Chain A
Amino acid sequence: MTPPRGRRAVIAGVATSDYPHLPHLSEHAVHGQSADRALADAGLTFADVDGFATTGFFPMYATGVAEYLGLHPIYFDETNSGGSSFEVLVEHAAYAVESGAVDVVLVTYGSVQLSQMGRRLGTGGGGGGGFAPGPAIYDALWGNTLVGNYAMAARRHMHEFGTTPEQLAAVAVTMRHHAATNPQAQEREPITVEDVVSSRLVADPLHKLDCCVISDGGGACVVTTEERAADLPGDPVYILGAAHATTHHLNLSAMPSLTVSPAAQCGPVAFARAGITPADVDVAQLYDSFTITVVLTVEDLGFCAKGEGGAFVENGGLEIGGRLPTNTDGGGLSACHPGMRGMFLIVEAVRQLRGEGGATQVPGARIAVAHGTGGMLSTGATLVLGREAP
């Protein structure tokens, strides 16, 4: 559907909060810091905001953050699809401004997961006590963990396609390489493939360095119309296409194939809506909860054939100048992963398209993809962003 003239959706401002360790801030304060910065980046104020979106782990979460921010929006959204939530929220915000319902949607994220839970948890929690009603119980009885679920997908990928631990490790090595030039990144010390495969196994075949960091942090972006952005100081980034998909909730037993993520469904739809093909993408920000997540995503978005993801990511395939420059801020594997990293993907994609990528800028980047993955490979959401009007 083509929006009315002048109402094409754009991202007019982005920001990250301080990260990765914020023991002095509440979760709401991280939202606040992110919101202040993104609105300032856009050249807007809270008075301009008529729509608001965020999500967290409690019902009526968005209304709570709106209260904290002093917002009384006439549009709000707290769709929660796990790690892909912020791509979904921005897609919804695009529809809201294109329809004319609202003019400026502020989307914020904030988490103090690291300070709240401590480093003890290492690679994400899961399970534990109580009664699990309905189908969820069928996967909850066996002591599996979040990383264990992704490990089972990785094992199956290795079995079907011969993917190696060293190929998975290459993802982590490239993310660390990018993180080295990001002064905020949680882990910046260079690592090698050997370092990754010799780090301790958390859940075979995934090692500690195949897993994302756990951080505090947040971010925000401002979605508005092309027309509204014309009056603002910065260059807008266009939301060219978007789509999201789900294949199952948290039960791997209900996942149709453990080597195909929902990206296979929503990626082609988002690309078609944007009128592009994978070959048109200059830079990608792909959810990297675990190394296998990235391998599945590059295949499912069509950057390579199914089963060829291992070969695609090795030998610098995801570096600047490689096959698909990916996670130029260092990703969740090295820079920052506060639980639902999707907002960071959007912020970094916009920065790349505005030429603000610094040492990891992809020269002349015109089209960027941000793809979030949530749950146990349960949800995917793709945003195609562009420097120029469609």
Chain B
Amino acid sequence: MTERWFPDEMPMPAANAETVGWWEAAAAHRLVVQRCTACGHLRHPPGPVCPRCRSSASEWSALAGTGTVYTFTVVRQAFIPSLADKLPYVVVAVELDGAQGARIVSNLVDVEPEEVIVGMPVEVAWEDMGPELAVPRFRVAGHRGERR
């Protein structure tokens, strides 16, 4: 159990029929994306229907939890007052390995903002937010340092 990276005022995940399986996997520290069992298309965020073939049949496909930085920003002005003392922080879009181009938005942690570049390899760094809730943040691949 690590320290909460963002304060309690941040939104909490509220799972629905399409996303509950994703959050259950996350709680077990497994990063998954939805896989259409009819055509094999991988998609994220989860949804009720495959946008490619319209099938509603899907399963959870486990990923390695690695990827590359597709794009990022360094947030330097907080609009949620309680985030002010976290500034600056990095919001990243990660192109996930083995996910057919699917991307996930998250934070890149344990990194100096000036070091972040597009294309940088990253890996998932799970943050437990409660007994049945974990969120996937990312850090630079191979990084073993302390959380900033």
Contact = CB atoms under 8 A, between A and B. Distances in A.
Interface of B: 6, 9-14, 16, 18-19, 44-47, 70-80, 83, 86, 89, 91, 93, 102-107, 113, 118-119, 135
Given A132-B14, A143-B107, A253 B44 contact: yes
Contacts of B103: 252-253
A276 to B, nearest CB: 32
Contacts of A253: 44-45, 93, 102-105
Contacts of A131: 11-14
Interface stretch (A99-107, A195-203, A378-386): A195-203
Interface string A191-215: 0000000001111111000000000
A162 interface: no
Interface residues of A, number: 46
Contact of A252 (B75, B105, B118): B105
Closest 6 CB pairs of A and B: A151-B73, A135-B45, A156-B71, A131-B14, A204-B74, A138-B45
A56 B6 CA distance: 31
B73 A133 contact: no
B75 A148 contact: yes
Contacts of A147: 77
Interface stretch (A57-65, A120-128, A299-307): A120-128
B14 to A, nearest CB: 4
B77 A143 contact: no
A129 B76 contact: no
A134 B16 contact: yes
B11 A138 contact: no
A201 to B, nearest CB: 5
Contact of A156 (B78, B105, B118): B118
25 contacts: A123-B77, A125-B79, A127-B10, A128-B10, A128-B80, A129-B10, A129-B80, A131-B13, A131-B14, A135-B46, A135-B47, A141-B13, A143-B6, A143-B80, A144-B73, A146-B79, A148-B91, A155-B118, A201-B76, A202-B76, A202-B77, A203-B77, A204-B76, A253-B45, A253-B105
Interface string A132-169: 11110111111111111101110110010000000000
B70 A156 contact: yes
B70 to A, nearest CB: 7
Interface in A107-127: 121-127
Given A130-B12, A141-B106, 17 more contacts: A128-B9, A128-B80, A129-B80, A134-B18, A135-B45, A135-B47, A141-B13, A143-B10, A148-B91, A149-B73, A155-B118, A156-B71, A201-B74, A201-B76, A203-B75, A253-B102, A253-B103
B89 A143 contact: yes
Interface string A370-388: 0000000000000000000
Interface centre among B12, B71, B79 (most CB of A within 10 A): B79
A331 B106 CA distance: 32
A79 interface: no
Nearest to A134: B16
A230 interface: no
Nearest to A131: B14
Contacts of B74: 201, 203-204
Contact of B83 (A122, A143, A254): A143
B10 A141 contact: yes
A128 B45 CA distance: 20
Given A142-B107, A143-B83, A252-B105, A155 B46 contact: no
B91 A144 contact: yes
B50 to A, nearest CB: 14
A141 B83 CA distance: 12
A258 interface: yes
A181 interface: no
A155 B72 contact: yes
A142 B12 CA distance: 11
